[in-house]
Amino acid sequence: MYAKTCHAATPIRARPRVALGLAVSRECRCSVTGIVGIYSDPRHVILYTSNGEARQEFSIVLTARSVSGQPTPSSESSEVRWVPEAELRGYTMDRSMRIRIEDFLSRNGSPVIT
């Protein structure tokens, strides 16, 4: 696994009626090779004050391989790079990201669903 950022997370904005794999390929210039898991936290709810709507976030964590181009920062990132698997544990990151990385590194064979 290589992580696209030092926090191993890249928000993917799938367009309506576009398959997730195609959205990932377009955004990350990579080929999806597997799924680590689907993560949610019922304590993490986002309230939109403009309309009072509340949403619970979830993340789908995939494994992938680079197929072209160079990682490039966007308005959502200050630094972007591919990180070799052996270096992943050396990065400082949020607890929720650490759990996802450890789930990948444990390679238990089944996707995690929380």
pLDDT, one tens digit per residue, over 74-112 is 777 787 778 888 898 898 988 888 999 999 999 888 898
Distance CA(98)–CA(101), nearest Å, equals 5
Question: Residue 6 pLDDT more than 60?
Answer: no
Whether 61 contacts 24, CB under 8 Å = no
Rounded Cα gap, residues 45 and 54, in angstroms: 6
pLDDT beyond 60 at 4: no
Q: Which of 11-15, 16-20, 75-79, 108-112 has the highest mean pLDDT?
A: 108-112
pLDDT tens per residue across span 29-81: 788 888 899 998 888 888 888 888 888 888 888 888 888 877 777 777 787 77
Tell me which DSSP letter residue 8 carries. Answer: S
pTM: 0.70
CA 21, 22, 23, 25 torsion-angle sign? positive
- Number of C-alpha atoms within 13 angstroms, CB side, residue 79? 7
